[in-house]
């Protein structure tokens, strides 16, 4: 341990490889299924949506995949990101715990999402793609892909969940500044969007609906557009592991090692990004770090969902994967952590949680914003509502350490800043923010519509 607060790496320490959890995972990957035939998908089917290099990364069992030099050069705009010890927060809590956080909010788009957006834009550009489509919830992913597409000269259409489109206009403005076209989903621009509006004219939208629209546009473009996803799939989580690889080196600089690593979870990318390299150390080198994913009580896929095969989107156009799910047509409440409103969870993370290698907790919205404000007052950074879920769990860990009078080293991923989320803070500070509990009846109904999958023996 040192007396430092900031633990910085220079460009020479920028990781040269992404880490692939499938090389070391004690649970075998489950097949990805065609949404129509329910047979394992082929690369040809996926190639309608993704360039072949990303498809190969999706199914790879190689432990390390080299980061292209062109991607590393763009990473150098903000990476390596700083690791900080939250000394003022520790003092405010009166805890013997040591709290560290990895600040991914220093990226151009303000979150961890460029780590994969830059890679995906690069591979699409190299494959000759001219334009991409995508969805976004809170806007962090859309902002990041808009930035990356601008860097590599690609056009971009973003289908933004309508409730977030209304709550976060400045995220939309940022995407447009980078050159993207942004639409409030559900829209009247797609067959599926029109069908949703016909049934529910005032729909708030969901990530599942927005994914369906973006997939439809790409799939019907006759190859002129590809689809890009900001979480859930293995190649996305793979790209995010630069976070954990840097954090391992920075914890060495601090002369400490985390007892617990924490991240918020929506689809799983930022949590996997910081946690998977530490899980590798657990599996291969005898470490015993607890890995904790934190989700909202309103969309508790890991803590309340079923581990089953389900569609990745509401229209049942995206592949079927085995994951913790609330049901593909589950309509989540309009919480301010828009990036955590997805009905499912990354298949690799779901399998590891189901097998007991990863823990999960669900926290309420009011308590999450209480933690966010406490962190902002102590450390000076206003966190994104999504990231505040990790802060809530880190504070709870620190208070538990205090109650037990034990030292505990806590590391969490501050996955983004909240500069475009001040309307959410206004709602909280004015006393208008509501808690949403697990909507058991709605989820039971949605679960009845899961696909009936029978795998060969």
Clarify whether residues 184 and 84 are in a common domain. Answer: no
pLDDT at 1: 56
CA distance 457 to 448: 25
Q: What is the mean pLDDT of the chain?
A: 93
Q: What angle (nearest 5°) sits at the alpha carbon of residue 391, between those of residues 436 and 333?
A: 20
Clarify whether residues 265 and 219 are in a common domain. Answer: no
Among residues 192, 210, 234, the one where a domain terminates is: 234
Among residues 214, 234, 254, the one where a domain terminates is: 234
- Digit-by-digit pLDDT tens for the chain (457 residues) are 568 999 999 999 999 999 999 999 999 888 889 888 889 888 888 999 999 999 999 999 999 999 999 999 999 999 999 999 999 999 999 999 999 999 999 999 999 999 999 999 999 999 999 999 999 987 899 999 999 999 999 999 999 999 889 988 999 999 999 999 999 999 999 999 999 999 999 999 988 899 899 999 999 999 999 999 999 999 999 999 999 999 999 999 999 999 999 999 999 999 999 999 999 999 999 999 999 999 999 889 999 999 999 998 888 888 899 999 999 887 776 655 555 667 899 999 999 999 999 999 999 999 999 999 999 999 999 999 999 999 999 999 999 999 999 999 999 999 999 999 898 899 999 999 888 877 677 777 777 888 888 776 5
Is 453 contained in some domain?
Answer: no
CA 63 to chain centroid, in Å, comes to 21
pLDDT at 448: 81
Domain count, the chain: 2
Among residues 203, 234, 265, the one where a domain terminates is: 234
Q: What angle (nearest 5°) sits at the alpha carbon of residue 231, between those of residues 417 and 201?
A: 85
Neighbours of 255 (CB within 10 A): 9
Domain that holds residue 175: 17-67+113-234
Is 452 contained in some domain?
Answer: no
- Return the bridge partners of 103, or none: 414
CA distance 271 to 240: 9
Is 21 contained in some domain?
Answer: yes
pLDDT at 315: 81
Among candidate residues 306, 300, 439, 271, the one with its CA nearest the CA of residue 362: 300
Clarify whether residues 141 and 211 are in a common domain. Answer: yes
Question: What are the residue ranges of helices labelled H in 9-132?
Answer: 43-46, 52-59, 69-75, 87-93, 114-126
Clarify whether residues 346 and 246 are in a common domain. Answer: yes
Clarify whether residues 220 and 291 are in a common domain. Answer: no
The CATH number for 220's domain is 3.40.50.1100
Q: Is 17 exposed, middle or buried (0-12, 13-18, 19+ CB in 10 A)?
A: middle
Is 457 contained in some domain?
Answer: no
Clarify whether residues 176 and 50 are in a common domain. Answer: yes
pTM of the predicted model as reported, rounded to 2 decimal places: 0.95
Clarify whether residues 55 and 101 are in a common domain. Answer: no
Is 434 contained in some domain?
Answer: yes
Query: What is the per-residue DSSP string for 177-227?
Result: HTT-EEEEES-SSSHHHHHHHHH-TT----HHHHHHHHHHHHHTTTTSEEE
Clarify whether residues 128 and 183 are in a common domain. Answer: yes
φ/ψ (deg, to 5) at 399: -70, -35
């Amino acid at each position: 341990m040192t007396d430092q607060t900031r633990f910085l790496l220079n460009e020479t320490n920028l990781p040269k490889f992404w880490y692939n959890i499938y090389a070391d995972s004690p649970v075998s990957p489950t097949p990805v299924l065609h949404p129509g035939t329910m047979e394992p998908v082929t690369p040809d089917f996926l190639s309608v949506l993704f360039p072949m290099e990303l498809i190969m990364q999706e199914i790879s069992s190689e432990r390390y995949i080299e980061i292209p030099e062109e991607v590393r050069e763009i990473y150098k705009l903000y990476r390596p990101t700083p690791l900080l010890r939250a000394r003022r927060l520790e003092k405010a809590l009166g805890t013997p715990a040591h709290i560290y956080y990895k600040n991914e909010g220093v990226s151009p788009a303000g979150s961890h999402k460029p780590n994969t957006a830059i890679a995906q834009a690069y591979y699409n550009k190299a494959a000759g793609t001219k334009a991409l489509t995508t969805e976004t919830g809170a806007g962090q992913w859309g902002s990041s892909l808009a930035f990356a597409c601008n860097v590599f000269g690609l056009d971009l259409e973003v289908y933004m969940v309508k409730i977030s489109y209304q709550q976060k206009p400045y995220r939309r403005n940022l995407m447009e500044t980078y050159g993207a076209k942004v639409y409030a989903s559900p829209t009247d621009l797609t067959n599926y969007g029109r069908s949703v509006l016909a049934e529910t004219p005032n729909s708030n939208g969901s990530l599942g609906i927005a994914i369906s629209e973006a997939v439809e546009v790409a799939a019907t473009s006759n190859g002129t557009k590809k689809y890009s996803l900001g979480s859930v799939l293995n190649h996305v989580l793979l790209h995010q592991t630069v976070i954990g690889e840097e954090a391992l080196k920075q914890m060495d600089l601090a002369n400490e090692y985390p007892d617990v690593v924490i991240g918020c979870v929506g689809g799983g990318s930022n949590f996997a990004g910081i946690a998977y390299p530490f899980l590798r150390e657990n599996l291969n080198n005898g470490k015993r770090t607890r890995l904790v994913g934190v989700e909202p009580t309103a969309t508790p896929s890991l803590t309340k969902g079923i581990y089953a095969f389900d569609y990745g989107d509401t229209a049942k156009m995206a592949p079927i994967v085995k994951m913790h799910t609330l049901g593909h047509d589950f309509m989540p409440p309009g919480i301010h952590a828009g990036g955590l409103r997805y009905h499912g969870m990354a298949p690799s993370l779901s399998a590891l949680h189901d097998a007991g290698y990863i823990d999960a907790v669900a926290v309420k919205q009011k308590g999450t914003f209480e933690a966010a404000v406490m962190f902002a007052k102590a450390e000076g950074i206003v966190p994104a509502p999504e990231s505040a879920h990790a802060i809530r769990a880190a504070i709870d860990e620190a208070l538990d350490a205090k109650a037990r009078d034990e030292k505990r080293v806590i590391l969490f991923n501050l996955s983004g800043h909240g500069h475009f989320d001040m309307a959410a803070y206004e709602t909280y500070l004015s006393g208008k923010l509501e808690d949403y509990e697990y909507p058991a009846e709605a989820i039971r109904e949605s679960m009845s519509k899961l696909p009936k999958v029978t795998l060969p023996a």
